[in-house]
Amino acid sequence: MVNAADAREVWQKCLSIIKKEITVQTYRTWFEPISPVSLSGNELMVLVPSKFHYEWIESHFVSILRKSITQTLGASSILKYQIAREEDDPEVFIPEDRIQDPVSVQGNRQPAGNGVKLSYGTNPKPLNDDLVPNNLNDKYTFDTFIKGDSNQLARAAAFAVSENPGSNSFNPLFIYGGVGLGKTHLIQAIGNRVAKSGKVRNILYVSSERFTVDFVNSIQHNRVSEFSTFYRNVDLLIVDDVQFFSGKEKTQEEFFHIFNTLHQSGKQIVLTSDRPPKDMKFFEERLLSRFQWGLAADIQAPDLETRIAILNHKAAQQEFVLDSEVIEFIAVNVTNNVRQLEGCLVKLMAQASLTGASINLGMARDALRDIIKPSKINLSIESIQRIVSEYFGISHDLLIDGTRKQEIVRARQIAMYLAKEFTQSSLKTIGNHFGRRDHTTVIHSCESVKNQAETNDKYKKTLDDIRRKIEMSM
């Protein structure tokens, strides 16, 4: 029997299953707008706002929909869609690619009810388990984004946008910078914060590639008007990596019109690119000028302190305890990509869990050989001597000759110790570089440095400072 109340109940059960597997944002965007229509036997009919909406959920959420409906109504259950009538598109919509599919024919072309164009069964073709490829990832928040000089403006602007989407002077907010510097993180943080605040309803994060593919598909299937209606209904549109629109004239044109509509109606637009608008090639001038209507803010590679803070933060997030020496080693050597900093941590965590041992500097160096090139680590003894003598303001000759003056001895011992730490040289070779001293002298020096570093904080700090200078020089 057809029954609306039962339909509601069944759909609620489905939703509670779906809800568990997707983010709140995705749920709100794609599932809240769907309403149950009727239940007839094991056939549930739901109403979706548009063809585009239907296609989106069919291509992105088919497996989870299937799971929810079979868990609720049994294995042979059927989910049918009705598509709400859109004023500007009175034609009956017959998706030929789907009705030719032998299984989904079931339920097709049934006479549609009021305000309804068509209904058809779920597409049983290959499951797409990648549930939310273009949506917000809730791990990207402002809380987890480390501030630094390198991202200060971009972050502040992003935060301001998230406070008042649409009604601020940063529209569009255009964030640019190199790979792995946190652009995606930052713009998703905007989306997540706005979603949480409930200030606007329709939030969409989309990569420019996805936008392009969907647009091309909509041309092929004669659904361009639907595509643009869909985007024109978004309140906060976040498009990542717009540099990929380069040379794609039709896509640029479509985006230009969507941009204008949204901008005119006070909707917020956020964009990222790997370069500033002025350096973007094969773009229509009018689009580039729009990109600069609001604020273009760059993200630079983080400085050393920020890199250390990011590493500390990420390690703490994973409850991974790492020696500050190791953190510094990574931070000093991986300088222009935050994703790579994370990669180092992941590697060390794997290493630690394999060996069950905590990671010391030597182990880190070994484990990260393919990221932090050993050639960089293979310093010469001479260059270490140079850095140490510069640090103490003494001449190179004085460092290696026979002087027994206490402060020279201290510098010499530290130089030997660091030569042992940073080079693959034998004790004998090191001794040879320090005025042909015996290898036992080198051993003695290393022991002495180690002991003093362990018992004297000031001494340790000196040693760390020099070590950092050496690492910086690599």
Q: Give whichever of 297 and 338 is closer to ligand ADP, judged by the CB atom.
A: 338
Instruction: Give residues in contact with Mg ion (CB under 5 A).
Output: 183-184
Q: Give whichever of 341 and 368 is closer to ligand ADP, judged by the CB atom.
A: 341
Of ligand ADP, Mg ion, none, which one sits near residue 233, judging by CB under 5 to 8 A according to partner kind?
none
Establish if 146 lies at the interface with ligand ADP (CB under 6 A).
yes
> Least CB distance from residue 275 to ligand ADP, whole Å?
12
By CB under 6 A, which span of 183-191, 247-255, 366-374, 394-402 interacts with ligand ADP?
183-191
Binding test (CB under 6 A) with ligand ADP, winner from 23, 68, 151, 252: 151
Establish if 310 lies at the interface with ligand ADP (CB under 6 A).
yes
By CB under 6 A, which span of 68-76, 182-190, 421-429, 441-449 interacts with ligand ADP?
182-190
- How far out from the chain centre does Cα 470 lie? 32
> Least CB distance from residue 184 to Mg ion, whole Å?
3
Binding test (CB under 6 A) with ligand ADP, winner from 80, 185, 307, 467: 185
Establish if 183 lies at the interface with ligand ADP (CB under 6 A).
yes
Establish if 176 lies at the interface with ligand ADP (CB under 6 A).
no
Q: Give whichever of 78 and 295 is closer to ligand ADP, judged by the CB atom.
A: 295
In the numeric block, which tokens belong to residue 147? 């501030």
By CB under 6 A, which span of 34-42, 172-180, 344-352, 397-405 interacts with ligand ADP?
172-180
Q: Give whichever of 177 and 294 is closer to ligand ADP, judged by the CB atom.
A: 177
> Least CB distance from residue 299 to Mg ion, whole Å?
10
Of ligand ADP, Mg ion, none, which one sits near residue 21, judging by CB under 5 to 8 A according to partner kind?
none
Establish if 179 lies at the interface with ligand ADP (CB under 6 A).
yes
Of Mg ion, ligand ADP, none, which one sits near residue 338, judging by CB under 5 to 8 A according to partner kind?
ligand ADP
3-class SS letters over the chain: CCCHHHHHHHHHHHHHHHHCCCCHHHHHHHHCCCEEEEEECCEEEEEECCHHHHHHHHHHCHHHHHHHHHHHHCCCCEEEEEEECECCECCCCCCHHHHCCCCCCCCCCCCCCCCECCCCECCCCCCCCCCCCCCCCCCCCCCCCCCCHHHHHHHHHHHHHHHCCCCCCCCCEEEEECCCCCHHHHHHHHHHHHHHHCCCCCEEEEEHHHHHHHHHHHHHCCCHHHHHHHHHCCCEEEEECHHHHCCCHHHHHHHHHHHHHHHHCCCEEEEEECCCHHHCCCCCHHHHHHHCCCEEEEECCCCHHHHHHHHHHHHHHCCCCCCHHHHHHHHHHCCCCHHHHHHHHHHHHHHHHHHCCCCCHHHHHHHCCCCCCHHHHCCCHHHHHHHHHHHHCCCHHHHHCCCCCHHHHHHHHHHHHHHHHHCCCCHHHHHHHCCCCCHHHHHHHHHHHHHHHHHCHHHHHHHHHHHHHHHHHC
Residue closest to ligand ADP, measured at CB: 182
Of ligand ADP, Mg ion, none, which one sits near residue 166, judging by CB under 5 to 8 A according to partner kind?
none
Q: Give whichever of 128 and 312 is closer to ligand ADP, judged by the CB atom.
A: 312
> Least CB distance from residue 274 to Mg ion, whole Å?
9
Q: How many residues form the binding site for ligand ADP (CB under 6 A)?
A: 16
Binding test (CB under 6 A) with ligand ADP, winner from 180, 276, 343, 435: 180
Q: Which residues form the interface with ligand ADP (CB under 6 A)? A: 144-146, 151, 177, 179-185, 310, 338-339, 342
